[in-house]
């Protein structure tokens, strides 16, 4: 491994012995194990891709230091149906950052068929090579893993750390854990999922020795959970769910993308599985969305109101749009809550060229009277408040009067009471995120649910809003799952 990497506990300690697999787990491990023919195809494609990248870099005259296929495809820890080749094009650090993307995309464009430009920390290309999906990502070949210039610069160090430590049995356990997390809906670090990344999953199996070891450890975890050895710890956000230092860069929290909700679902799922292991945790039954009529019947039972913000898709990648959708949900919750509505829930969806943000309130309209609070008696603003509401033009419905804690108040009529007109009047002032705000039409962004229920994004968001249950509760009433996972 390159210089600058200092591994501390627990990564210097021996890997715990693996716990025996249950018969169900052994069966699933065998089904998830990639067949030798596929392993050989992946190996040949990896070598050809690296060779081509090196040759094309020379022809282009760009300072490529290393081409590396890393991640699960390089370590044989991928799941059936989730096999992508992650190609990292690592350039000399002397290449200016503003030229990194241009050089990387130009090189990737000569390697891949059907390339599509995407964006994460900086642009990358997604395309095909010898029948495999490939993400080609530019970065720098740095000498120290704790001094990256871009987020992907740690990748060679991750690869060098994991490869010699992973046994065939450990790879089986990694695939089991990934499949288990996927069954719960919390596998993947993308913004929509906010779950466990592949790298985090592999580190957990390495630390606890096996799939069963990770699930056993989770029985005693809480939120937040810190898995930090003695010494300096990563600086983390206040709402961090799990803190696990990166073995190649102790200042970085490997689990920064993991939300508290996803982590809590994993903890509950691990305890549920420990008490009753069953196949559905690895092979959930196909989810069958409810019919629109059934969803509307549920709303009538709840006697609530759902308002819909419906916008055209701004055309950005999902990892750019999903944070703005969550921001819009918070804005609707906070704004309507301050106005006096009881907000029962929110949900979002991005589908079929549209984005939908739904908010469910306990009523469709507010009371005709609102309380307008004034200052406590005795402060400087008291005379102005009294003058404003006792003058000849003042027409409060009640007051001024005093509350029990000595504050002046008046009761005033509400000019706008219904939730949809209120949201329509506030649309331009809501914190929606720049891309959603840019997609706002001149008028009519908010709709009653029944008016737009035929839109795919609205139905998807309504399903999330009303059918949000712990996964295994849905499995209890679903049809049996297939006996084995699909072939790769």
| Res 287 pLDDT > 90 | no
Count of C-beta atoms within a 10 Å radius of residue 149: 15
Q: Percentage of the chain surpassing pLDDT 90?
A: 81
Q: Between these two residues, 480 and 221, which has the higher pLDDT value?
A: 221
> pLDDT, tens digit, for every residue of 62-99?
999 999 999 999 999 999 988 999 999 999 999 999 89
**Mean pLDDT computed over every residue of the chain:** 92
| Res 191 pLDDT > 60 | yes
> pLDDT, tens digit, for every residue of 221-278?
999 999 988 777 788 888 899 999 999 998 899 999 999 999 999 999 999 999 999 9
pLDDT of the residue at 290: 87
DSSP state, residue 398: E
* Inter-residue contact 372 to 382 (CB < 8 Å): no
| Res 309 pLDDT > 60 | yes
pLDDT of the residue at 122: 72
Q: Percentage of the chain surpassing pLDDT 70?
A: 95
Q: Is 404 exposed, middle or buried (0-12, 13-18, 19+ CB in 10 A)?
A: exposed
Domains of the chain: 1-31+166-290+480-488 (1.10.1410.30), 34-164 (3.30.460.10), 292-365+417-466 (3.30.70.590), 369-413 (no CATH)
33-43: average pLDDT: 96
* Inter-residue contact 132 to 45 (CB < 8 Å): yes
198-211: average pLDDT: 97
| Res 296 pLDDT > 60 | yes
| Contacts of 328-337 spanning 24+ positions with Cβ under 8 A | 328/357, 328/430, 328/431, 328/432, 328/433, 328/436, 329/357, 329/359, 330/431, 331/430, 331/431, 331/432, 332/357, 332/359, 332/423, 332/430, 333/359, 335/426, 335/430, 336/361, 336/419, 336/422, 336/423
> pLDDT, tens digit, for every residue of 108-158?
999 999 999 887 667 889 999 999 999 999 999 999 998 999 989 999 999
**Sequence-distant (≥ 6) Cβ neighbours of residue 408 within 8 angstroms:** 373, 374, 375, 376, 377, 382, 385, 386, 399, 400, 401, 402
pLDDT of the residue at 443: 78
> pLDDT, tens digit, for every residue of 73-83?
999 999 998 89
pLDDT of the residue at 172: 98
């Amino acid at each position: 491994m390159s210089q600058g990497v200092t591994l501390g506990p627990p990564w210097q300690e021996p890997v715990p012995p693996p716990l025996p697999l249950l018969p169900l787990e052994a069966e699933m491990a065998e089904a998830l194990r990639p067949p030798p023919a596929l392993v050989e195809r992946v190996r040949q494609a990896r070598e050809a891709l690296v060779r081509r990248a090196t040759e094309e870099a020379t022809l282009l005259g760009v300072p490529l230091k290393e081409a590396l296929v890393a991640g699960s495809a390089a370590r044989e820890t991928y799941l059936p149906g989730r096999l992508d080749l992650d190609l990292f094009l690592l350039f000399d650090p002397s290449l200016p950052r503003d030229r990194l993307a241009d050089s990387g995309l130009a090189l990737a464009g000569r390697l891949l068929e059907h390339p599509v430009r995407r964006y994460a920390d900086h642009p990358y290309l997604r395309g095909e090579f010898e029948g495999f999906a490939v993400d080609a990502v530019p970065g720098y070949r740095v000498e120290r893993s704790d001094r990256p210039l871009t987020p992907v610069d740690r990748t060679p160090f991750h690869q060098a750390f994991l490869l010699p430590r992973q046994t065939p049995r450990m790879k089986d356990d990694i695939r089991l854990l990934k499949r288990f997390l996927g069954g719960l809906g919390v596998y993947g670090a993308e913004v929509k999922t906010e779950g466990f990344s592949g790298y985090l999953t592999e580190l957990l199996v390495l630390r606890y020795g096996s799939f069963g070891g990770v699930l056993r450890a989770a029985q005693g975890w809480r939120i937040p959970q810190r898995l930090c050895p003695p010494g300096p710890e990563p600086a983390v956000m206040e709402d961090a769910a799990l803190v696990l230092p990166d073995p190649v860069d102790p200042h970085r929290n490997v689990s920064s993308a993991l939300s508290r909700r996803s982590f809590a679902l994993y903890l509950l799922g691990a305890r549920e599985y420990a008490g009753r292991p069953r196949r559905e945790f690895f092979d959930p039954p196909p989810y069958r969305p409810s019919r629109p009529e059934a969803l509307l019947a549920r709303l009538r039972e709840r006697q609530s109101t759902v308002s819909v913000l419906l916008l055209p898709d701004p055309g950005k990648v999902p990892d750019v749009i999903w944070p703005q959708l969550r921001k819009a949900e918070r804005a609707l919750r906070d704004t309507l809550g301050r106005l006096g509505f009881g907000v029962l829930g929110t949900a979002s969806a991005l589908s079929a060229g549209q984005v939908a943000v739904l908010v469910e309130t306990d009523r469709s309209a507010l009371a005709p009277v609102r309380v307008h609070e004034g200052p406590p008696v005795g402060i400087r603003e008291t005379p102005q408040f009294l003058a404003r509401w006792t003058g000849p033009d003042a027409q409060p419905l009640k007051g001024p009067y005093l509350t029990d804690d000595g504050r002046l108040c008046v009761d005033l009529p509400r000019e706008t009471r219904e939730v949809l007109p209120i949201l329509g009047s506030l649309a331009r002032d809501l914190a929606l995120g720049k891309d959603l705000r840019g997609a706002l039409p001149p008028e009519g962004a908010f709709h009653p649910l029944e008016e737009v229920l035929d839109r795919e994004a609205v139905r998807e968001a309504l399903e999330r809003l009303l059918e949000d249950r712990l996964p295994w509760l849905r499995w209890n009433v679903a049809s049996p799952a297939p006996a084995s996972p699909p072939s790769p």
